[in-house]
Amino acid sequence: MSQRSDLRQRRATLEGEWSRWIPQLRTARRSPAGGGVALRPEVAESWLRSLSSVDPHRDSAPAAEDGSVARRWAASPLRRPVDDLAGELHSIADDAGFVTAVTDESGTILWTCGGRTMRSRAERVNFAPGGRWDEPDMGTNALSLALRTGRPSTVFSAEHLVSALHGWVCYCAPVHAPDGRILGVLDLSTTWDRSHPLAMSTVRSLVTAIESRLAAELPAPRPPAPGTPVRLACLGVERAERGGVPLPLRPRQLEILTLLALEPDGFTAERLREAVYGDRPVTASTFKAEISHLRRALGGGVTPRRYALTTPVTCDAVEVLDALRRGDTSTALRHYRGPLLPRSEAPGIVEWRAQLEVAVREAVLASTGPEDALRYGERAPYDAQVHEHALRLLAPDDPRRPIALGRLSTALRD
């Protein structure tokens, strides 16, 4: 059988099974615009999670248990920056026909603004202070997706699980504290016929302004105590801190710190220079200057001549490797949030990046539990082999099969 024929057969088999699962996700309906329902994978997965706790025919969001959110809003770290931007938020909502909402980290709406007509419509579904819009309470919506993923989200019309929301489109982005915690979300919502291509960029700009004000309000950080370990996060991100205080490291110094953390026995000067610069013509003084800056940032912590760390450093990449050595794939996946220093082109980092990616993927394919393949599949949407492995491990009646089916369909289509 040719590769193309094999691909067609796999797609046909996949589409047959997917068609059996779709009715269990939701009875097919038409959107207000007249189009059919076409679920994005993240939306389909949210539906599947939501259906265990949310009735698609409910008419509004449940209310917060205490019945009042005034005290919570008064104590919220978001209140002051939102108050500073209130004039702009009111203007955007009034001019464009939106309702603007701010939630806390639980998805409970704490504050809204907008024109009288639009706010009245929103209040019918309890899109108002006190309404609970997290996924377990209100199913698939932009607020719940942004809280779950930590990323901006748009949900349009019939993508909402709850029928009462099919007339709406929501644009939403999470608001992060300076330490990375999600404090809540900012949402712009309107009726589907008023959707606008610039709405999401507007939300992003407003969130950036709020986060800038949050950072400006922070007190000066206290110096960490001597001996406090350095925390190095280099999988999918590029960050080093000590005692919650970011270390002032440039990208090249982060590369060196990462290499030293991954190889605790250390490097000769020649080998470290090659791992960082490859065959690029870099002077010895430039290389030594990077080491000196790193040493100062660590308060010492790097031995001379043969370079190795003497200060305690915890590193997510090292934690992944330790978990894999123990055969603990689940723990490795919990720490593996993405490729090693994704923007780095240093030869040593590129080599370690490939080693980690291969090691994690092979551990997933060797795992006998579907949870590992499903979790890894979130970060590998085009890895058909991983999705097929998940399907082989999932029982025919396992409610998670549509997740793997949707991902495999995307992978085969591309």
**DSSP string of 192-260, one letter each residue:** GGG--TTHHHHHHHHHHHHHHHHHHTSPPPPPPPTTPPEEEE-BSS-EEEETTEEP---HHHHHHHHHH
The pairing of beta strand 99-103 with beta strand 245-246 = unpaired
Percent of the chain with pLDDT over 70: 89
Q: Is the pLDDT of residue 221 over 70?
A: no
135 vs 52, 123, 226, 300, 413, CA distance in Å?
Answer: 11, 19, 43, 47, 29
Report, as an integer, the average pLDDT of 329-350. Answer: 93
299 vs 81, 103, 242, 303, 304, CA distance in Å?
Answer: 36, 41, 11, 12, 14
Range with top average pLDDT, 42-56, 157-171, 212-226, 397-411 = 157-171
pLDDT tens for 114-138 read: 988 899 999 999 999 999 999 999 9
| 3-state helix, strand and coil shares in percent for the chain, rounded to the nearest 5 | 50, 15, 35
pLDDT tens for 242-267 read: 988 888 898 999 999 999 999 999 99
Of the chain, the end-to-end C-alpha distance in Å amounts to 21
Report, as an integer, the average pLDDT of 161-166. Answer: 93
Q: Is the pLDDT of residue 99 over 90?
A: yes
Q: Is the pLDDT of residue 226 over 50?
A: yes
Q: Which residues, in sequence order, are CB contacts of 329 under 8 Å at separation 6+?
A: 323, 363, 364, 366, 367, 372
Chain centroid to CA 34: how far?
32
Ramachandran angles phi, psi of 32, nearest 5°:
-60, -25
Q: Is the pLDDT of residue 219 over 70?
A: no
How confident is the model at residue 205, as a pLDDT? 93
Distance in angstroms (rounded) separating the CA atoms of residues 159 and 169: 9
Q: Which residues, in sequence order, are CB contacts of 132 under 8 Å at separation 6+?
A: 61, 62, 63, 64, 106, 107, 108, 138
How confident is the model at residue 31, as a pLDDT? 41
Pseudo-torsion of CA 288, 290, 296, 297, nearest 10°?
-160
Distance in angstroms (rounded) separating the CA atoms of residues 281 and 60: 65
How confident is the model at residue 36, as a pLDDT? 47
| Among candidate residues 130, 110, 146, the one with its CA nearest the CA of residue 61 | 130
Q: Is the pLDDT of residue 34 over 50?
A: no
Q: Which residues, in sequence order, are CB contacts of 198 under 8 Å at separation 6+?
A: none
Q: Using the structure block, give the residue that is written with the tokens 């702009």.
A: 88
Distance in angstroms (rounded) separating the CA atoms of residues 143 and 81: 19
Report, as an integer, the average pLDDT of 183-199. Answer: 89
Distance in angstroms (rounded) separating the CA atoms of residues 286 and 328: 41
Sign of CA dihedral 158, 162, 168, 170: negative
328 vs 325, 363, 372, 383, 395, CA distance in Å?
Answer: 8, 9, 10, 22, 23
Report, as an integer, the average pLDDT of 31-56. Answer: 72
Q: Is the pLDDT of residue 268 over 60?
A: yes
Query: Using an 8 Å Cβ cutoff, are 387 and 375 in contact?
Result: no
Pair of tokens at residue 165: 């929301």
pLDDT tens for 296-327 read: 999 888 998 899 999 999 999 999 999 999 99
Distance in angstroms (rounded) separating the CA atoms of residues 353 and 344: 10
At residue 35 the predicted structure's pLDDT band, cuts being 50, 70 and 90, is very low
pLDDT tens for 45-84 read: 888 888 878 889 999 999 987 657 888 999 999 999 999 9
Specify the 3-state DSSP secondary structure of 407: helix
Report, as an integer, the average pLDDT of 155-172. Answer: 93
Residue bearing the bigger pLDDT, 305 or 141: 141
Distance in angstroms (rounded) separating the CA atoms of residues 209 and 212: 5
How confident is the model at residue 412, as a pLDDT? 81
Specify the 3-state DSSP secondary structure of 111: strand
> Got the DSSP string for 304-352?
SSSB-B-S-EEEHHHHHHHHHHTT-HHHHHHH--SSBSTT---HHHHHH
Please state which of the ranges 2-16, 116-130, 143-157, 174-188 shows the lowest mean pLDDT.
2-16
Report, as an integer, the average pLDDT of 403-414. Answer: 80
Report, as an integer, the average pLDDT of 31-51. Answer: 68
Report, as an integer, the average pLDDT of 172-200. Answer: 88
At residue 95 the predicted structure's pLDDT band, cuts being 50, 70 and 90, is confident
Please state which of the ranges 20-29, 199-208, 385-394 shows the lowest mean pLDDT.
20-29
How confident is the model at residue 23, as a pLDDT? 53
Report, as an integer, the average pLDDT of 352-369. Answer: 96
pLDDT tens for 6-28 read: 655 655 565 555 555 555 454 43
Query: Using an 8 Å Cβ cutoff, are 326 and 310 in contact?
Result: no
Range with top average pLDDT, 155-164, 175-184, 301-310, 320-329 = 320-329
How confident is the model at residue 254, as a pLDDT? 95
DSSP, res 151: S
355-373: burial string, b at 16+ Cβ within 10 Å, e else: ebeebbbebbbebeebebb
Pair of tokens at residue 101: 């909402």
